[in-house]
Structures are given as structure tokens and as C-alpha cells.
């Protein structure tokens, strides 16, 4: 049977229960998926309110170390300059030559995929696992884009009953307002944030 590794990129600022729930549901629903690799973006990425690489990596690792199906990669954060997605995936493919690599994105990013660096190579060389957000329909998005339509075999819609409601912005706002985020993040992440006083002074984005 083909063995698949799903690459889950993001800022993870901070990592939420919903991130890990989504990954766990993907592993559970797709028998051929053996691992989910979380890849936090480099803090050089131009995003307001993004805390350091070390903290986001360590929060992910605290959780991934307790799940045999989860891994966290420092591929992007250890580079001096941000990597394009295609570069990250090619590095991972070399690290796992006997596995097929899938990359997961939300339907909001699918709408803009044709603007990504080397988008043609990305959809030619890798499968894209698409999580529908809000009222989005993957098929409709693909039909509205000549680029996506030409490569529709690259896209796999996440099964309808796999759900996630990711909002790190909401969590950061609660921290700044002195409100509890318990049960929104794994206990390990919650305790790490409390111990290191993260996000308390970070400007909201």
C-alpha cells in the first residue's frame, strides 16, 4: 500500500487543539497516511505579531513528541531566508524517498494558489489536500480558475466530516485581554505560554 506523509504548514502562533485535531482526523480517515509533519514558518515571514521560531517550534514539539503519528520539522525556521512551499516539499521528499508527499491547504489559499512561486511545479509534483473553509466548495473554486482546472487531478478534498476551526488570532486576543485559553490549546502549549508569558505584549494582528 502507498504510504503518505501529509505536510501541514502554518505559523502555529500558537498551536491550537484544532490544528492537532485536524491532523489526527486526517490520519484516522486516510489509512495510507502514516505521518503528519507540522512545518512552522520562519519568523522572517512578513506577518505582524509572529513570535520567535524557537517558541513556536518548542510548543509544537511538546505535543508531537506524545503522538507517534506527528512530527515537527525545523526545515523552514532554520533557513536564513524563508523557503517557498515547493522548496520545503522537495526537501521533505528527499528525506522521505519511499513516501508520497501531500500538502494540506485551506480553500482560502486554494483560491490564490496560481500566484504561488512555481505553482505549476507544485501541483505537478505533489498532491494538494484541501480543507474547505466556511461555505467554500473545492469543485467550484477549481472551475472558476483556468489554472486549477488544468490541474484538478492534483487536488483531494478533505472528507466532509473532517472539521477544524482554526483561529490563533482569537486565542492571542484572549491572552492580551487576560482571559483564559484553557482547552483551546493542548495543556502542554497552555502551560508553555503561561510559563513564558507569551503574547501578553504582542501587538494584535
**54: Cβ contacts below 8 Å, ≥ 6 apart:** none
DSSP reduced 3-state for 105: strand
Spatial strand order of the sheet with 155-157 comes to 70-72, 33-40, 4-10, 100-106, 127-131, 155-157
Average pLDDT over every residue of 49-72:
96
The per-residue pLDDT of the chain, averaged, comes to 92
- Domain assignment present for residue 191? The answer is no
How many domains does the chain contain in total?
1
- Domain assignment present for residue 201? The answer is no
- Domain assignment present for residue 187? The answer is no
- Using the predicted structure, report yes or no on whether residue 203 has a pLDDT greater than 60: no
- Domain assignment present for residue 90? The answer is yes
Residue pair 132/138 in contact (Cβ under 8 Å)? The answer is yes
DSSP reduced 3-state for 113: helix
- Domain assignment present for residue 197? The answer is no
- Domain assignment present for residue 172? The answer is no
What does the DSSP 8-state code read for residue 98? T
CA atoms within 13 A of residue 194's CA, in its CB half-sphere: 11
pLDDT in tens, 86-123: 999 999 999 999 999 999 999 999 999 999 999 999 99
Peptide bond connecting 14 to the previous residue in cis, omega within 30 degrees of 0: yes
pLDDT in tens, 118-162: 999 999 999 999 998 888 999 999 999 999 999 999 999 988 666
**Lookup: cell for 157:** 478534498
For the question of whether the overall pTM of this predicted structure is more than 0.85, the answer is yes
- Of 45, 117, 114, nearest in space to 81 by CA: 45
- Domain assignment present for residue 128? The answer is yes
- Domain assignment present for residue 171? The answer is no
Average pLDDT over every residue of 63-70:
98
Residue 9 vs residues 39, 75, 86, 201: alpha-carbon distances, Å: 5, 11, 12, 25
Host domain of residue 19: 4-164
End-to-end CA distance of the chain: give it in Å, rounded.
44
pLDDT in tens, 6-55: 999 999 999 999 999 999 999 999 999 999 999 999 988 767 789 999 99
CATH code of residue 152: 3.40.50.620
DSSP notation for 2-56: --EEEEEEE--SS--HHHHHHHHHHHHH-TTEEEEEEEEPPTTS--TT---HHHH
Amino acid at each position: 500500500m502507498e504510504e503518505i506523509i501529509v505536510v501541514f504548514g502554518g505559523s502555529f502562533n500558537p498551536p491550537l487543539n484544532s490544528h492537532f485535531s485536524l491532523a489526527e482526523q486526517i490520519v484516522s480517515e486516510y489509512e495510507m497516511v502514516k505521518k503528519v509533519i507540522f512545518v512552522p514558518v520562519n519568523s522572517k515571514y512578513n506577518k505582524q505579531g509572529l513570535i520567535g521560531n524557537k517558541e513556536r517550534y518548542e510548543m509544537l514539539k511538546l505535543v508531537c513528541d506524545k503522538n507517534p503519528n506527528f512530527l515537527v520539522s525545523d526545515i523552514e525556521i532554520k533557513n536564513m531566508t524563508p523557503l517557498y512551499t515547493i522548496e520545503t516539499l522537495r526537501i521533505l521528499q528527499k528525506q522521505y524517498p519511499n513516501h508520497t508527499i501531500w500538502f494540506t491547504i485551506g480553500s482560502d489559499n486554494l483560491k490564490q494558489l496560481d500566484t504561488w512561486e512555481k505553482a505549476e511545479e507544485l501541483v505537478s509534483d505533489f498532491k494538494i489536500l484541501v480543507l474547505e473553509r466556511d461555505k467554500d466548495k473545492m469543485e467550484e473554486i477549481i472551475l472558476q480558475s483556468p489554472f486549477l482546472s488544468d490541474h484538478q487531478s492534483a487536488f483531494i478534498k478533505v472528507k466532509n466530516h473532517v472539521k477544524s476551526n482554526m483561529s490563533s488570532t482569537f486565542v492571542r486576543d484572549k491572552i492580551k485581554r487576560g482571559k483564559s485559553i484553557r482547552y483551546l490549546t493542548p495543556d502542554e502549549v497552555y502551560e508553555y505560554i503561561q510559563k513564558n508569558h507569551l503574547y501578553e505584549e504582542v501587538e494584535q494582528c
